[in-house]
C-alpha cells in the first residue's frame, strides 16, 4: 500500500530538504519503496547520502507547503538517532531508513529502503474528509507537468466540493494555497471566490461638535463574526452581470442586493476600464440595514473577487476607496482583512479611512447570541447623515470615557479571556454611545422591544449585551455553546423577537481564493 507523508534528506553541504512522498510500505513497516524523480532534490541527496527519515503527519498545511516548495523556514526538527538526518518535531510518527537497492533505469527511480529505527511523537488526529481532500490536492500539484490541465481542473473541482462542505480554517488555508499554485501554473483562474462574515459595531468614539474640531471623527470598536456572511464568485463574462445562486443556508438574495452588487461592479470597472467582462455569482448576503455591516462586506467581497480574477492584489483600504466604503468607520474594512476585535482611531475628515489602532483575537470558545425584531431597520444613507446633524456633537469628556473603557477594560479583558469584564465594558461603552444618539433613535436603543431585551439580558446575568451600530440587531456575549443555546431559546420566546441565532467569533480575514474548473451550477439570472 502507499502511505503519504514527508521525507527529509540531507545534502552534502548539510542542508535539509523536506519533500512530500508516498512510498509503498509493507504491513509491519519494515521496508519502504520510494520513487523520486531523478530531477528532484530528494533523489540527488539520497544518491549522495543513502539515508533519510520518512514521516507520517496529519499537518495538511505543511504537506501543502512542501508540495509547492514554500516551506521557508523549515519546521522545528531534531537529529535522527541511527542515520544522518533530521526528524520533523511536529510529525505523528517517524521512520529512519537506509537505501539498500536502487533502480535508476527510468526517469522515476525505484529505491528500496530498510527501516532502521522508528518513533512516535503524538497521536494522529483521525479520519477527516477535508484533510484527505487537501492531501489529494497536494499530490495533484506535484503532477502539474504530467497530467492534462482539464484533468487537473476536474479533480480539483471535485475536491473543492469536499473542502467547502467539511473543512476547518487550516484545511481551507492549505487547499487555497494549492489552488493558487495550480492557478498560477495553468494561467489566469477561471473564477475567484470570496467568503466573509459580519461586523458587530459597538459604537463610535467621537462625532461632530466644536469640541472635536481639528480632531479625529468617528472611530470606534467592533468585532467580526462568522455569520451571517457573504459568499460570491467572480468569473469571466461577455459583459458585466450579476447572477444569484441561492445556497439554502440563508435568506434568498434580495433584488436590492443584486442592485448594490451591480453598482459596486460598476465602481470597480470605473477604476480600471480595461478589465474584461465579469459575471458575479452571488449566493449569500447579510441582511441590509440590520447593523451588521452588510454594505461594506458585500462591497469589499465584490472588489476583492474582481481584482483576484484579474491577478490584481490591492489592499483592502484601496478596495474600499474604489467602492466608496469606510467614510465613517474603518472597522468593517479592517475586519474584512484580519477578523477579530478591532479599534480604529477615526479619520481627520470624511474622506479618510480610519487607521486600525488595536486588534485582538476573541476567545474561540465564546459565542454571540444575535436577535432582532420582527420588523424594522437601522438608519442608513441620507437618514444616517441627517441623524448625525440632528443629534449634535459628542462631548470630548464622553470620548475620553469611551477611550478609557476600551484601553483599560475591554482590550485587557479580551487578552485575558475575562468574559465578565469584557462584557461589562462593552455594555457600558454601548450604553454611553446610545445616550449620545438618544435624540434620533428614541433612546439608547432604536427599538423598544430590543431595549426590553437588553434589560432582560442584564437581569439574567448576561453582562455583555448591546446594540450593533444603528441596530436593530442586539448582541449578547456568552462563554460557550451550551450557554448560548439556552439563552437563544429564552430569547426566541420573548415578545417582539423576530429572529435569533448563535454565532461564533471570526478571528481571520475574508477567505479569497482562485477557483480551478469549479463546476457550473444552475443559476437564476438577474441584471
In CATH, which superfamily holds the domain spanning 129-187?
A: Hypothetical membrane protein ta0354_69_121. (1.20.58.290)
> How far is residue 139's CA from residue 63's CA, in Å, rounded to a whole number?
9
How far, in Å, are 119, 196, 269, 318, 362 from residue 299 at the CA level?
Answer: 52, 11, 13, 12, 25
Q: What is the mean pLDDT of the chain?
A: 86
Of 6 and 313, which is predicted with more confidence? 6
How many C-beta atoms surround the C-beta of residue 395 within 10 A? 14
* Range name among 280-284, 383-387, 445-449 with the lowest pLDDT average: 383-387
How many C-beta atoms surround the C-beta of residue 106 within 10 A? 10
What pLDDT is stored for residue 519 in this prediction? 34
How many residues belong to the chain?
527
Q: Strands, E, within 121-179: which ranges?
A: none
What pLDDT is stored for residue 81 in this prediction? 95
How far, in Å, are 293, 478, 502 from residue 468 at the CA level?
Answer: 9, 16, 15
pLDDT tens-digit readout, 118-177: 999 999 888 789 999 999 999 998 887 777 777 788 899 899 999 988 988 899 999 999
Of 2 and 383, which is predicted with more confidence? 2
**Once rounded to an integer, what is the mean pLDDT over residues 494-501?**
93
How far, in Å, are 91, 135, 411 from residue 58 at the CA level?
Answer: 8, 9, 35
What pLDDT is stored for residue 147 in this prediction? 75
> What whole-number percentage of the chain has pLDDT above 70?
87
Fold identical between 129-187 and 194-511? no
What pLDDT is stored for residue 395 in this prediction? 82
What pLDDT is stored for residue 58 in this prediction? 93
Residue 177: CA count within 13 A, CB half-sphere: 20
> How far is residue 207's CA from residue 493's CA, in Å, rounded to a whole number?
37
How many C-beta atoms surround the C-beta of residue 388 within 10 A? 18
pLDDT band, very low/low/confident/very high, at 512 (cuts 50, 70, 90): confident
What pLDDT is stored for residue 248 in this prediction? 46
For 270, residues 6+ apart whose C-beta sits below 8 A from its C-beta are none
pLDDT tens-digit readout, 329-343: 789 899 999 999 999
Does 74 have pLDDT greater than 80? yes
What pLDDT is stored for residue 402 in this prediction? 92
Does 193 have pLDDT greater than 70? yes
DSSP string for residues in 258-314: HHHHHHHHHHHHHH-TTPPPEEEEEEE-PPTTSSS-HHHHHHHHHHHHHHHHTT---
What pLDDT is stored for residue 324 in this prediction? 65
Does 347 have pLDDT greater than 90? no
Architecture of domain 5-120: Roll (2.30)
Does 527 have pLDDT greater than 70? no
> How far is residue 421's CA from residue 342's CA, in Å, rounded to a whole number?
17
What pLDDT is stored for residue 249 in this prediction? 46
Does 46 have pLDDT greater than 70? yes
* Range name among 22-26, 305-309, 332-336, 410-414 with the lowest pLDDT average: 305-309
Residue 294's closest CA among 63, 469, 88?
A: 469
> How far is residue 243's CA from residue 233's CA, in Å, rounded to a whole number?
10
Residue 114, Cβ density class (10 Å: 0-12 exposed, 13-18 middle, ≥19 buried): middle
* Range name among 86-95, 399-408, 421-430 with the lowest pLDDT average: 399-408
DSSP string for residues in 10-58: E-TTS-EEEEEE--EE-TT--EEEE--BTTSHHHHHHHHS-EEEEEE--
Asked if the 194-511 domain carries CATH number 3.30.230.120, the reply is yes
Angle CA 227–481–330, to nearest 5: 35
Backbone angles phi, psi at 339, to 5 degrees: 65, -170
Residue 71's closest CA among 62, 84, 58, 81?
A: 62
pLDDT tens-digit readout, 446-493: 888 999 999 999 999 999 999 999 889 999 999 999 999 999 999 999
pLDDT band, very low/low/confident/very high, at 50 (cuts 50, 70, 90): very high
What pLDDT is stored for residue 423 in this prediction? 97
Does 43 have pLDDT greater than 50? yes
Residue 332's closest CA among 318, 322, 342?
A: 342
* Range name among 54-58, 276-280, 453-457, 485-489 with the lowest pLDDT average: 276-280
Task: Tell me if 516 sits within 8 A of 157, measured CB to CB.
Answer: yes
What pLDDT is stored for residue 515 in this prediction? 63
CA 164, 166, 167, 168 dihedral sign is positive
| Extents of the domains making up the chain | 5-120, 129-187, 194-511
Rg (CA), the chain: 27
> How far is residue 350's CA from residue 218's CA, in Å, rounded to a whole number?
9
Does 91 have pLDDT greater than 80? yes
Amino acid at each position: 500500500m502507499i502511505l503519504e507523508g514527508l521525507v527529509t534528506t540531507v545534502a552534502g553541504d548539510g542542508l535539509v530538504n523536506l519533500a512530500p512522498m508516498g512510498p509503498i510500505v509493507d504491513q509491519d513497516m519494515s521496508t519502504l519503496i520510494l520513487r523520486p524523480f531523478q530531477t528532484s532534490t530528494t533523489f540527488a541527496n539520497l544518491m549522495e547520502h543513502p539515508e533519510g527519515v520518512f514521516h507520517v503527519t496529519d499537518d495538511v498545511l505543511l504537506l501543502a507547503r512542501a508540495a509547492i516548495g514554500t516551506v521557508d523556514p523549515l519546521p522545528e526538527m531534531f537529529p535522527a538517532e541511527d542515520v544522518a538526518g533530521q526528524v520533523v518535531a511536529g510529525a505523528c510518527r517517524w521512520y529512519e531508513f537506509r537505501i539498500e537497492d536502487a533502480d535508476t533505469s527510468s526517469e522515476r527511480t525505484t529505491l528500496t529502503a530498510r527501516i532502521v529505527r522508528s518513533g512516535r511523537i503524538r497521536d494522529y488526529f483521525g479520519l477527516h474528509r477535508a484533510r484527505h481532500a487537501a492531501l489529494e490536492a497536494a499530490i495533484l500539484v506535484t503532477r502539474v507537468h504530467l497530467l492534462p490541465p482539464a484533468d487537473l481542473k476536474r479533480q480539483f473541482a471535485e475536491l473543492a466540493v469536499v473542502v467547502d462542505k467539511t473543512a476547518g480554517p487550516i484545511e481551507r488555508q492549505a487547499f487555497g494555497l494549492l489552488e493558487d499554485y495550480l492557478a498560477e501554473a495553468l494561467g489566469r483562474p477561471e473564477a475567484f471566490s470570496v467568503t466573509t462574515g459580519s461586523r458587530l459595531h459597538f459604537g463610535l468614539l467621537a462625532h461632530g461638535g466644536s469640541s472635536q474640531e481639528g480632531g479625529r471623527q468617528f472611530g470606534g470598536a467592533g468585532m467580526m463574526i462568522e455569520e451571517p456572511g457573504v459568499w460570491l464568485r467572480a468569473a469571466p463574462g461577455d459583459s458585466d452581470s450579476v447572477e444569484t445562486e441561492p445556497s439554502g443556508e440563508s435568506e434568498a438574495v434580495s433584488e436590492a442586493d443584486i442592485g448594490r452588487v451591480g453598482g459596486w461592479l460598476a465602481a470597480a470597472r470605473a477604476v480600471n476600464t480595461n478589465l474584461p467582462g465579469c459575471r458575479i455569482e452571488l449566493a449569500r448576503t447579510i441582511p441590509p440595514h440590520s447593523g451588521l455591516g452588510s454594505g461594506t462586506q458585500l462591497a469589499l467581497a465584490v472588489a476583492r473577487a474582481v481584482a483576484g480574477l484579474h491577478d490584481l492584489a490591492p489592499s483592502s483600504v484601496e478596495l474600499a476607496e474604489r467602492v466608496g466604503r469606510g467614510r465613517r468607520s474603518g472597522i468593517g474594512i479592517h475586519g474584512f482583512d484580519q477578523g477579530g476585535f478591532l479599534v480604529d482611531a477615526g479619520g481627520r475628515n470624511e474622506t479618510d479611512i480610519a487607521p486600525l489602532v488595536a486588534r485582538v483575537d476573541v476567545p474561540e470558545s465564546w459565542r454571540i447570541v444575535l436577535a432582532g425584531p420582527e420588523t424594522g431597520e437601522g438608519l442608513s444613507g441620507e437618514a444616517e447623515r441627517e441623524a448625525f446633524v440632528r443629534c449634535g456633537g459628542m462631548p470630548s469628556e464622553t470620548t475620553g470615557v469611551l477611550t478609557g473603557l476600551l484601553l483599560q477594560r475591554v482590550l485587557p479583558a479580551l487578552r485575558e479571556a475575562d468574559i465578565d469584564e469584557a462584557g461589562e465594558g462593552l455594555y457600558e461603552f454601548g450604553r454611553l454611545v446610545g445616550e449620545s444618539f438618544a435624540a434620533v433613535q428614541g433612546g439608547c436603543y432604536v427599538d423598544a422591544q430590543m431595549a426590553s431585551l437588553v434589560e432582560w439580558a442584564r437581569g439574567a446575568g448576561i453582562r455583555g449585551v448591546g446594540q450593533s451600530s444603528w441596530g436593530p440587531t442586539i448582541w449578547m456575549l456568552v462563554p460557550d455553546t451550551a450557554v448560548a443555546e439556552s439563552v437563544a431559546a429564552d430569547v426566541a420566546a420573548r415578545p417582539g423577537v423576530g429572529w435569533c441565532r448563535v454565532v461564533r467569533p471570526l478571528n481571520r480575514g475574508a477567505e479569497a481564493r482562485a477557483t480551478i474548473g469549479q463546476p457550473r451550477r444552475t443559476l437564476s439570472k438577474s441584471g
